[in-house]
Amino acid sequence: MLSLVCSSGFSFINLDVDLSLYKKEPCLQLLGHCDGIICLSNYRDDIVLCNPATRETMVLPESCLPCYSSISNLIPQTSALGFGYDSRTHHCKVVRIISYWEERSGSGLPHHSRVEVYSLATGSWKELNVKVPAHVWYSPCFETYFNGAFHWYAIDDNRNEVILSFHMGNEEFQVIPMPSALSLYDYSMCRSLFVWNGRIALVIYPRKGIEKSFQIYVMKEYGVRESWTKILTIGPLTKVEMPLAFWKNDEILMEGSDGLVVSYNLKTQELKDLPIYGVPKSFATLVYINSLVSVKGGNRVLDGDNTDFDW
């Protein structure tokens, strides 16, 4: 179910977009938003671009990387996808990391990884000759585009928790350290990454529990570990599972334990139910702005109505 909720008045729209590729899929991954275009994937190899305003969609061509490895006992697997805007070419890009795993390896880390980028400017994939400095791992609601780069939760070769970023302009990776105050490998706590007030914000909260508190850290100077600052703690709140997105400067969308999306106001500390229902722990959310940009690239055409939606 794809839905739009307008930021002014919380008006609700069910989205009628032809995503025939995904009618047989049990779940979708919402990668991000760029210039009115939304990128979705089926967690494997298929990627589609969609403009909800124009109802235009496009399935990206197949990967330029081989579906096999020259080393017989390695199994390739898409380990990360990212979507964002390249300010140099003024076009959107998709980045894909394919990791190669040994069949019986007990290390928990891939043997090696390869990287490719799809650009709307060229309409094709290309492989990058770069080393991936950390290994992308799953953490709920973590993948975020900010400051020209896409960010993932990752583990480096020394098994430290880090943020791995890929810059869409220079097509290079960067490793950003986590706050030093975090307990390493505390699997009872979740980490989620968002953009809040023009900065990267890290939210720490319990994986389980009837009542949950949400600690918010902000990186005041991008890329500098010492600049991580704990800003506030939300809660404890009941019947709230996880944060989904910062919507406005003082609003954060959260998933309720009953399959309902709620909006929490940081100033008034009030929760408001939104008309979005679904299966618990299956929500994906982003802030979207209307445009008439074509998913096929070419000339950029924008409308005059830059209305904020949450999808």
Say what the pTM is. Answer: 0.87
Say whether pLDDT at 28 is over 80: no
Stretch among 72-81, 102-111, 230-239, 280-289 having the lowest mean pLDDT: 102-111
- Give bridge partners of residue 6 from the DSSP assignment: 309
If you average pLDDT over residues 293-305, what whole number do you get?
Answer: 59
Q: What is the pLDDT of residues 207-256, one digit of tens each?
A: 888 899 999 999 999 999 999 999 999 989 988 999 998 887 788 989 98
Rounded CA Rg of the chain:
19
Phi, psi of 301 (to 5 degrees): -125, 120
Residue 44's pLDDT band (cuts 50, 70, 90): low
The 3 state secondary structure assigned to 118-171 is: EECCCCEEEEECCCCCEEECCCCCCCEEECCEEEEEEEECCCCEEEEEEECCCC
Say whether pLDDT at 282 is over 60: yes
Higher pLDDT, 183 or 124: 124
Residue 304's pLDDT band (cuts 50, 70, 90): very low
pLDDT at 305: 46
Higher pLDDT, 200 or 106: 200
SS3 225: helix
Distance CA 86, CA 279 (A): 35
Distance CA 146, CA 187 (A): 26
Sheet holding 251-256, edge to edge: 240-248, 251-256, 260-265, 271-277
C-alpha pair distances (Å), 221 with each of 133, 229, 308? 21, 10, 27
Nearest to 45 by CA among 21, 19, 23, 72: 21
Higher pLDDT, 94 or 100: 94
Q: Are 309 and 294 in contact (CB under 8 A)?
A: no
SS3 227: helix
Q: Are 105 and 111 in contact (CB under 8 A)?
A: yes
Nearest to 175 by CA among 222, 111, 142, 126: 222
What are the structural domains, with CATH classification, of the chain? 3-277 (2.120.10)
